[in-house]
Amino acid sequence: MKINCLIVDDEPLARNLLTDYVRKVPQLNLVDTLSSPLQVMDALRNNEIDVMFLDVQMPDLTGISLLKALQKKPLIVLTTAYSEYALEGYELDVADYLLKPITFERFLKAVEKITQRLAERLPSGPSVAPVAHKQGVEASQPFVFVKDGTKLIKLRIDDIQYVEGLKDYVTIHTKTQKIVSLQRLKALEEELPADKFIRVHNSFIVAFNAIDVIHKNDVQVGATMIPIGETYKKSFRDFIDRNRITG
């Protein structure tokens, strides 16, 4: 999914920094950069914009005032050096609020929030279509791409032993390495083949082939003990039974 972006900031250095950040993220498409909020109306009228990175303190019209004036608006990420606007911004349902100076790591977290918000807006469509698509991925694609800092790493699915989630990050464990990626556990779970991986806890996904021992309340992967959450026990037992039959 390509995300069309608009940057609005009266400071050239701030525009250049955000432009550089946007261009480093493959899913983002920079449509335009504007130095004045007075140019925004035409830009929104003439382009399909998914997200606008909007500075708060600008001459002629503040970002907050512009936001209140817009009838139909894209997702908004406010950018400012002043934290006192945060509450008002969230009351206006902004997607995120970036305090200057903005680091690339914090920018990536905003992109993750934007991606989730846009995905929630997409129509779900017929229930058969997503299942057919996922089966096709499982059969033909033996790898996933995961974000590691500014890079996308191609990771073989069969090398993944388990995944640990913590808020907006996941740690992917293989036999030889750990990769920390800025994404939610749920998003990665949807990419992994359901016949090979099982969610066993709010914070853990485990590969069937990596399980060495199954205890009453834990699974053992090598020397690591991973808890089985109470709400996941039945689905885990069903998963193990299916794999014992087909394996």
pLDDT in tens, 187-207: 888 888 888 999 999 999 999
CATH code, domain with 87: 3.40.50.2300
Mean of pLDDT values over 11-18? 96
Label residue 140 by pLDDT band (50, 70, 90).
very low
3-state helix, strand, coil in the chain (%, to 5): 40, 30, 30
97 and 10 both lie in a single domain: yes
Q: Which of 86, 121, 156 corresponds to the end of one domain? A: 121
What is the distance between the alpha carbons of residues 41 and 65, in angstroms, rounded to a whole number?
13
Q: Which of 62, 87, 121 corresponds to the end of one domain? A: 121
Planar angle of CA 80, 81, 85, nearest 5 degrees: 60
138 and 87 both lie in a single domain: no
**Is the pTM value of this prediction over 0.75?**
no
Does position 182 have pLDDT exceeding 60, yes or no?
yes
Cβ neighbors of 104 (< 8 A, separation 6 or more) are 21, 24, 150
CATH code, domain with 206: 2.40.50.1020
Q: How many domains does the chain have?
A: 2
78 and 171 both lie in a single domain: no
What is the distance between the alpha carbons of residues 105 and 98, in angstroms, rounded to a whole number?
11
What is the distance between the alpha carbons of residues 26 and 34, in angstroms, rounded to a whole number?
21
pLDDT in tens, 70-107: 888 899 999 988 766 655 655 677 888 888 899 999 99
7 and 108 both lie in a single domain: yes
Q: What pLDDT does 124 receive?
A: 42
Q: What pLDDT does 188 receive?
A: 86
133 and 93 both lie in a single domain: no
β-bridge pairing 218-221 and 213-214: antiparallel
Does position 120 have pLDDT exceeding 80, yes or no?
no
Range of the domain at 17: 3-121
Question: Which residue in 50, 95, 42, 85 sits closest to 65, CA to CA?
Answer: 85
Q: Which of 121, 146, 168 corresponds to the end of one domain? A: 121
232 CB burial (10 A radius; 0-12, 13-18, 19+) = middle
What is the distance between the alpha carbons of residues 61 and 39, in angstroms, rounded to a whole number?
11
106 and 159 both lie in a single domain: no
Does position 141 have pLDDT exceeding 60, yes or no?
no
Sign of the Cα pseudo-torsion (205, 119, 66, 92, in order): negative
Least-confidence region, from 23-27, 34-38, 154-158: 154-158
